[in-house]
Amino acid sequence: MRAVWFLLERVSCILEPAEREAVLGDLKEAGEGPWQTIAEIVGLVLRRQADHWKDWRPWVAAFGVSVPTSFMLMGGSVMLFSGFVTLAQASAARQLFAAEVEILSVQTLLLAGWSWTCGYLVGSVSRRTVWLSIMAYCAPCLFCLSRFHIETFSRLSLLLFVLPLAVGLWQGRRGQRMGRRFGVAVAAIVTALAIITQVGVTGGVGNASRWICSLVQTWPSWCLAVASLDAAREDERAERSTFEMEQHELS
């Protein structure tokens, strides 16, 4: 019986604290047993999840952002890893060039920027359904990990983007409001890093598809910038209407 109560405590932790309080109180008042209480709580959680999926945002976050960007970020990770391998070989041969180190540093920052903005976007768009977005990131990674065969590279070279992505997901999910200046600055920096990397790697011209791929990956950062501008505009409107109401009351 103690195990059932323990299970009940664990299951009820899925609910928000205030709701857990009310629901457990209601079920206790109705005289429901522990098994019935567990079934009722699971039913409530399933209904809540079903409600979230009526919205378009979780679908876009999981299948419109997570899946395609996971492939792009894995590509970026492998490129960065190959850059590090080349640099290690060059430094072993005492042919270390400052330009190569610079490009590699910019590439590292770019991958971190791409990953963080992707994570933040997905986390903020699908706060309550973020588990599916995480699965949508994991599925392509597992697929690629199982088919990765480059002898000189570790399989982990595919996953260099995971840490900044996880940080972005966590911050986006917490609902931290991104300021207007910060949002625009992040988008501008990520775009600038993408351009610098391409100029550094290809010498300014080169492969058009690489340019396109690199710039396409900046779109999550621009989405965040637009969202931060919208949020700032809404705040201004709300402040103005509050001020007008106060003036009206005073007059």
Partner 1 sequence: MLLTAAAALGDTAYGATVRQEIEKATRKNCAIGAIYTTIDRLEAKGLVRTWMGEATSQRGGRAKRMVEVTPAGVKAAKEFYSAVMRVSRTASWAPSGVGRLI
Binding residues for partner 1, per CB under 8 A? 18-19, 21-30, 40, 43-48, 51
Give whichever of 12 and 133 is closer to partner 1, judged by the CB atom: 12
Measured CA to CA, the distance from residue 234 to residue 224 in angstroms comes to 15
In whole angstroms, the minimum distance from the beta carbon of 55 to partner 1 comes to 12
CB-based contact 59:67 (threshold 8 Å): no
In whole angstroms, the minimum distance from the beta carbon of 48 to partner 1 comes to 7
Give whichever of 25 and 179 is closer to partner 1, judged by the CB atom: 25
Give whichever of 11 and 141 is closer to partner 1, judged by the CB atom: 11
CB-based contact 169:66 (threshold 8 Å): no
In whole angstroms, the minimum distance from the beta carbon of 50 to partner 1 comes to 9
Give whichever of 16 and 235 is closer to partner 1, judged by the CB atom: 16
Give whichever of 29 and 151 is closer to partner 1, judged by the CB atom: 29
CB-based contact 172:119 (threshold 8 Å): yes
In order, the DSSP letters of 32-68 are --HHHHHHHHHHHHHHHHHHHTTSSHHHIIIIIIIHH
In whole angstroms, the minimum distance from the beta carbon of 218 to partner 1 comes to 35
DSSP state of 126: -
33: how many CB neighbours lie within 10 A of its CB? 11
In whole angstroms, the minimum distance from the beta carbon of 32 to partner 1 comes to 9
In whole angstroms, the minimum distance from the beta carbon of 20 to partner 1 comes to 9
Give whichever of 50 and 93 is closer to partner 1, judged by the CB atom: 50
CB-based contact 11:41 (threshold 8 Å): yes
CB-based contact 158:148 (threshold 8 Å): yes
With both helix axes pointing from N to C terminus, report the angle between 98-125 and 162-173 in degrees, rounded to the nearest 10.
30
